[in-house]
Every structure is written in structure tokens, then in C-alpha cells.
């Protein structure tokens, strides 16, 4: 299944976004031990070539802990001993579907409850081949999810685009992992016209800001401020020729103000615009630019408390 859906040149980090998540009610665990467990999970995710942001962060790797044995010494200082059963779980936390689980037993000792837990958690090694099959099983399930939901994903993006939420639509489409070859190709086909609408929309905003900045002074200071906005304009956008025209107008005015500084100033200005044009010659660059918009959209969403539907995973 996995081999049939994957593209050889694909990068797992851009394909399967899995988030590390550790709830507070998974046993007698302190915030310090909770943080350590999350770090271990993040290392396993990274080692497997996964991770990254998606528009909904629906796929998570989490854990549950059961105390198999506990002993507190009668010595001074007191030593705490724990034998823990730690179960790692990967699944769709929105729909509440568990994809894969892996249980390990580990022991830890320390002068406090927290330190004993930390000692046990530190024995979870991300290099352990035990996790390979566990992660691969989850990968296949995630691919199956995208294959089965592809039409709904495309429809959601279409709806967002019709509402002029082009960034939202791009975020939805670029969240499709490229190991899901068929759905990924459909998503990339759908993202092209939406991406064009987004860069056209942003171009008008940047042009207005650049023009206002230049009109405010029409000197070197105003030129530098205008350049900050002009430098953001995508060469494939509909108003790129307007950006070139304003750039030429500014360069000409700077030449008039100071003939001696003209050559250096004009070369710098022309180089900025030409460098942008050179960077978008390939189709891959367009896809990467769209993906960057999608990632930024996901990362910049308001911080809200997400209630994951994972209670059934604990039983």
C-alpha cells in the first residue's frame, strides 16, 4: 500500500504531519515528567521523518501510562522505584480513530516521584527499531484516510476559495501528503488557480502600500520603504508589471536626486526584482510557495483549545 502511493523523491517531513500530544490525565504524572514524555514522542516522530504543521493537526502521537509496580524505600534518603507500562498511540484525534499502538515496559528510580518517572521515561529511545513497524502501520492508515476523504478535501477547499479565503483553501490542499499520490496530484492541480488568486490579491495590497510609501516622501527613505513591499510581489501575479513600472519611476527619481548614487541604487533595485523572477521559473517553486502559504496559515491560526476525541484510546 505505502509503496504504491509514494513518490520516490518525496520528503516524509512534508508528507505526514503528526503532532506530539500528552494529556495531563494519563497517570500520576507531574508537569516535568509530562514535558519529558512529550520530548521523547517528538524525537520518535522526527526520527521517523514525520512531523510538521497541518491546517487541523488531526493526526497525533500520544501516550498512556500504567504503573505496574511502585516501591518506596525505608532508607534515608528515600528512593522511589517505578515499573511503568507506557503505550504509544497514533491516530486521528478529530474522528477518534486509533491507527496503531506500541507498548513498552520501563523502570526508573530516583529520590522523588518525579525523578523516578523521569528516569523511566528517559529509557524510551527514539532509535529503537521497535517503533519502525508501529509508525509504518500508522502511515498506511493516514494514507488511507486521505485516499478516502480526497473528494471532501477538494470540496472544502473549493468552498473556502468561493468565500475568498484563499489562504485557507491553500492550507487545506497543501496538507495532503505527497505519498498519497492520486489525491496529492488532484490537490496540486486544484491549488494552482487558487494560488494565482491569492498572489493577485496580495499583489494589489503590496502595490497600494508601496505606492503610499513612495508618495509620502519620494526620497531615498520613501524608496526603501516602498522596496519592502515591492520585494514581496510575486512575479507571476497580475500586477507585477505595475511593480516594475513603480520601480522604474522610483529609480529615475533617485537618479534625479543624486546622480552620484544613481548607479548603485538602480543596480540594487533591479537586482531585487530580477532575483524574484528567477526564483519562480519551475513548477516546483510554485508548489513550494503555495505550501509555505498553507504552513503559515496553519501556524498563525488563533490559539484555541482543541478537544481531541481520544478517550476511547485509553481502554
The pLDDT tens digits along the chain (315 residues) read: 333 444 333 443 346 888 899 887 776 788 899 999 999 999 998 888 787 666 677 899 999 898 999 999 988 889 999 999 999 999 999 889 999 999 999 999 999 999 999 999 999 988 888 888 898 889 889 888 888 999 999 999 999 999 999 999 998 998 888 888 889 999 999 999 999 999 999 999 999 999 999 999 888 889 989 988 998 888 888 999 999 899 989 888 887 876 655 455 554 555 465 455 455 454 666 777 777 787 777 666 655 556 788 888 876
- Are 74 and 188 part of one and the same domain? no
- Are 98 and 81 part of one and the same domain? yes
Domain count, the chain: 2
- Are 101 and 11 part of one and the same domain? yes
Classify residue 92: in a domain, yes or no. yes
Classify residue 230: in a domain, yes or no. yes
Q: Which of 149, 175, 199 is at the close of a domain?
A: 149
**Domain coverage including residue 98:** 2-149
- Are 133 and 219 part of one and the same domain? no
- Are 89 and 172 part of one and the same domain? no
pTM, 2 dp: 0.73
- Are 135 and 188 part of one and the same domain? no
- Are 291 and 187 part of one and the same domain? yes
Classify residue 314: in a domain, yes or no. no
Classify residue 203: in a domain, yes or no. yes
Classify residue 305: in a domain, yes or no. no
Looking up residue 54, the CATH number of its domain turns out to be: 3.30.160
- Are 210 and 79 part of one and the same domain? no
Classify residue 307: in a domain, yes or no. no
Q: Which residues 6+ apart lie within 8 Å of 32 measured at CB?
A: 114, 118
- Are 65 and 175 part of one and the same domain? no
- Are 144 and 234 part of one and the same domain? no
- Are 38 and 172 part of one and the same domain? no
Q: Which of 110, 128, 149 is at the close of a domain?
A: 149
Classify residue 306: in a domain, yes or no. no
- Are 35 and 170 part of one and the same domain? no
Q: Which of 98, 127, 149 is at the close of a domain?
A: 149
Classify residue 6: in a domain, yes or no. yes
Amino acid at each position: 500500500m505505502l509503496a504504491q502511493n509514494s513518490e520516490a523523491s518525496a520528503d516524509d517531513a512534508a508528507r505526514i504531519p503528526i503532532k506530539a500530544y500528552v494529556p495531563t490525565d494519563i497517570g500520576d504524572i507531574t508537569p516535568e515528567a509530562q514535558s519529558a514524555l512529550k520530548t521523547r514522542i517528538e524525537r520518535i516522530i522526527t526520527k521517523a521523518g514525520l512531523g510538521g504543521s497541518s491546517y487541523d493537526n488531526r493526526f497525533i502521537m500520544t501516550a498512556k501510562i500504567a504503573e505496574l509496580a511502585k516501591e518506596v524505600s525505608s532508607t534515608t534518603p528515600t528512593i522511589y522505584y517505578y515499573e511503568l507500562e507506557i503505550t504509544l498511540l497514533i491516530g486521528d484525534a478529530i474522528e477518534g480513530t486509533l491507527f496503531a499502538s506500541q507498548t513498552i515496559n520501563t523502570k526508573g528510580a530516583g529520590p522523588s516521584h518525579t525523578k523516578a518517572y523521569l528516569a523511566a521515561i528517559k529509557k524510551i529511545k527514539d532509535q529503537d527499531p521497535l517503533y519502525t513497524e508501529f509508525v509504518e502501520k500508522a502511515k498506511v492508515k493516514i494514507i488511507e484516510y486521505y485516499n478516502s476523504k480526497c473528494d471532501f478535501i477538494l470540496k472544502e477547499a473549493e468552498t473556502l476559495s468561493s468565500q475568498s479565503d484563499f489562504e485557507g483553501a491553500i492550507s487545506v490542499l497543501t496538507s495532503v501528503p505527497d505519498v498519497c499520490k492520486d489525491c496529492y496530484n488532484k490537490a496540486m492541480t486544484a491549488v494552482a488557480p487558487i494560488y494565482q488568486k491569492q498572489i493577485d490579491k496580495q499583489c494589489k495590497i503590496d502595490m497600494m502600500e508601496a505606492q503610499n510609501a513612495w508618495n509620502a516622501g519620494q526620497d531615498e527613505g520613501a524608496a526603501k520603504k516602498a522596496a519592502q513591499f515591492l520585494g514581496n510581489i510575486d512575479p507571476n501575479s497580475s500586477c507585477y508589471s505595475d511593480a516594475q513600472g513603480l520601480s522604474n519611476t522610483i529609480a529615475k527619481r533617485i537618479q534625479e536626486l543624486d546622480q552620484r548614487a544613481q548607479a548603485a541604487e538602480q543596480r540594487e533595485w533591479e537586482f531585487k526584482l530580477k532575483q524574484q523572477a528567477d526564483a519562480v521559473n519551475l513548477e516546483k517553486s510554485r508548489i513550494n510557495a503555495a505550501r509555505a502559504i498553507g504552513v503559515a496559515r496553519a501556524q498563525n491560526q488563533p490559539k484555541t483549545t482543541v478537544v481531541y476525541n481520544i478517550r476511547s484510546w485509553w481502554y
